[in-house]
Structure 1
Amino acid sequence: MKERPIRSLPGIPVLLAAIALSFVALWCVVNAATAVDAGRNAAGSGIGAGVLLLAALLLLIGLYSVQPNQAAVLSLFGKYVGTVKEAGLRWNNPFYAKRKVSQRVRNFESGKLKVNDLDGSPIEIAAVIVWQVVDAAEAVFNVDDYESFVQIQSEAALRAMASSYPYDQHEDGQVALRSHPQEISEHLRSQIAERLVKAGVEVIEARISHLAYAPEIAQAMLQRQQANAVIAARTRIVAGAVGMVEMALAELQKNDVVRLDEERKAQMVSNLLVVLCGDRGTQPIVNAGSLY
């Protein structure tokens, strides 16, 4: 079922015509009443008044209004006829059934869903979906309730996407929910768009609005994150300290400031690493005697 446009007549002239017919019918009724009082035959005036009133009623029934960014889906006895998108007061066959569909941009936020990520850890996730009806005929005839269809399919796509990625990045180049929001949002948008294409809906944007570990493991995961941060910081400190020690030994040897044997070099390296890698300020011991 694809949308196809159909022509409609401007409603204002039709409305004026219906009003004019109503006045003419009223005049016929008055004329018939006068003829009856005068003893003349008033059958013709009565029939004319009835026909004019019926015509005016049919013209009024065929009128309908279309708002900006709205479409009217027309059907005749269950058969799709066409879609009208011209805004304003319009007129079509009075026997057409008219279903109006908003084509404005809409959004909704899913509830917090509890799912397992790729590693099996329970997480809470929610998303904001921005969508718009682009094919009114498909939205009306291909699904029972397109608004409910959008919500249910979006939440299903969100669950499937969340289970395809880990919460945290474990290695370089790995896409994770927390570290790659742009890639995750694009994947989510494409997944939802694929599910909603039959309903005539276009997904404009989809992004994660809430992401957290489930309460039962949140504390344990927080401790793991803190441990990973400490390890990363220590690794960087040690790497910097080793580089500084190498530079210090190289400068001493280059400038021939002091000659150290292997044992003294080892002791100096140990002392420098303690100074550079320690959590607290060191208390130096000054040797006032001989070096040996």
Structure 2
Amino acid sequence: MKERQLGSVSGLSVLAIAVLLAVCAVWLFVSGVQDLNRGNDSGGWLMGAGLLVGCVVMALLAGLYTIQPNQAAVLSLFGKYVGTVKEAGLRWNNPFYSKRKVSLRVRNFESGRLKVNELDGSPIEIASVIVWEVVDASEAVFNVDDYESFVHIQSESALRAMASSYPYDQHEEGQIALRSHPQEISEHLQRQIAERLDRAGVQVIEARISHLAYAPEIAHAMLQRQQANAVIAARTRIVAGAVGMVEMALAELQKNEVVHLDEERRAQMVSNLLVVLCADRGTQPVVNAGSLY
């Protein structure tokens, strides 16, 4: 079911004609009543003509309908799709057409917080904001039962599928994760939702994560793991820098022939320097006033 445009008549002109015909119908009916009171047989014909013109007026008024800006009217005749009218204002079409109005405005909604298992199996809470609009009114009306409910349910289903395809945190270099790659995750979510809503004549403008967190039952344990990973990463960097500084210090001492150290004293100096450089707190140096050996 693809949308096709249907022309319509200006409702203002039809309304003006209907008012004139209504005045004419009243005049005919009143004239007929007066003629019957005078005993003229033509009074019945005039009353009949007045009623007939009145029926025409009712038919004209029944075909009138209004369309707001960014709104469409899907018309059908006895269950058969006729066309879609998008011209705003007071319009007129066949009074036997059934008319269903569909908003073409941009809309958005936020899904509830869903509890799903991410790629590694850890339970997380996730929610998203979806911005969408109807681009094919006929598909929205005839292809699905309730297009608004369809959008909500399919969006949440796509969110669940997407969340289970990625880990919460990045474990390897270049790996896409929910927390570290919001742009890539949003694009993937938008594509998945768009594929599910294509049959409903709906276009997804934007989809992004609005809430992301570990489930309450494992949040404390995951926080401890994140803190441990941060401590390990910091320690690794500190040790790497300390080793480089020790190597540079020994190389400069040997190059400038400041002091000659045997292997035992060299190892002791390396140990002392690493303790000073890697310690959490400031160290208290001990000055040796006697002989070095």
Match of 1:149 in 2: 150
In structure 2, what is the Cα distance between the partners aligned to 1:246 and 1:103? 69
In structure 1, what is the Cα distance between the partners aligned to 2:254 and 2:102? 83
Structure 1 stretches of at least 4 aligned residues deviating more than 2 Å after TM superposition: none
**CA displacement, residues 132-156 of structure 1 (integer Å, 9 cap, x when unaligned):** 0000000000000000000110111
In structure 2, what is the Cα distance between the partners aligned to 1:231 and 1:110? 37
In structure 2, what is the Cα distance between the partners aligned to 1:254 and 1:136? 82
Instruction: Indicate the SS of the match to 1:257.
Output: coil
**CA displacement, residues 222-277 of structure 1 (integer Å, 9 cap, x when unaligned):** 10000000000100111111111111111112222222222221111111110010
Match of 2:275 in 1: 274
Match of 1:7 in 2: 7
Match of 1:260 in 2: 261
Instruction: Indicate the SS of the match to 2:264.
Output: helix
Match of 1:188 in 2: 189
Match of 1:25 in 2: 25
Question: Structure 2: which amino acid aligns with 1:37?
Answer: N
Instruction: Indicate the SS of the match to 2:74.
Output: strand
When normalised by structure 2's length, the TM-score is: 0.98
In structure 2, what is the Cα distance between the partners aligned to 1:103 and 1:97? 19
Q: CA deviation at 1:37?
A: 2.2
In structure 2, what is the Cα distance between the partners aligned to 1:22 and 1:247? 104
In structure 2, what is the Cα distance between the partners aligned to 1:65 and 1:248? 86
Q: CA deviation at 1:98?
A: 0.2
Instruction: Indicate the SS of the match to 1:19.
Output: helix
Question: Structure 2: which amino acid aligns with 1:28?
Answer: L
In structure 1, what is the Cα distance between the partners aligned to 2:87 and 2:50? 34
Q: CA RMSD in A?
A: 0.8
**CA displacement, residues 45-84 of structure 1 (integer Å, 9 cap, x when unaligned):** 1111011101111110000001111000000000000000
Match of 2:118 in 1: 117
In structure 2, what is the Cα distance between the partners aligned to 1:158 and 1:129? 10
Match of 2:234 in 1: 233
Instruction: Indicate the SS of the match to 1:58.
Output: helix
Unpaired segments ≥5 residues, structure 1 = none
Match of 1:96 in 2: 97
In structure 2, what is the Cα distance between the partners aligned to 1:285 and 1:169? 45
When normalised by structure 1's length, the TM-score is: 0.99
Question: Structure 2: which amino acid aligns with 1:77?
Answer: F
Q: CA deviation at 1:92?
A: 0.3
Question: Structure 2: which amino acid aligns with 1:180?
Answer: H
Match of 2:249 in 1: 248
In structure 1, what is the Cα distance between the partners aligned to 2:22 and 2:235? 91
Q: CA deviation at 1:43?
A: 1.5
In structure 1, what is the Cα distance between the partners aligned to 2:114 and 2:148? 19
Deviates more, 1:98-107 or 1:247-256: 247-256
Deviates more, 1:244-253 or 1:196-205: 244-253
In structure 2, what is the Cα distance between the partners aligned to 1:96 and 1:19? 22
In structure 2, what is the Cα distance between the partners aligned to 1:196 and 1:171? 34
Q: CA deviation at 1:185?
A: 0.5
Question: Structure 1: which amino acid aligns with 2:4?
Answer: R
In structure 2, what is the Cα distance between the partners aligned to 1:111 and 1:12? 46
Question: Structure 2: which amino acid aligns with 1:35?
Answer: D
1:163 aligns with 2:164: yes
In structure 2, what is the Cα distance between the partners aligned to 1:201 and 1:51? 45
Question: Structure 2: which amino acid aligns with 1:116?
Answer: N
Equivalent residue pairs, number: 292
In structure 1, what is the Cα distance between the partners aligned to 2:52 and 2:254? 117
Match of 1:222 in 2: 223
In structure 2, what is the Cα distance between the partners aligned to 1:105 and 1:47? 51
Percent of aligned pairs sharing the same letter: 76
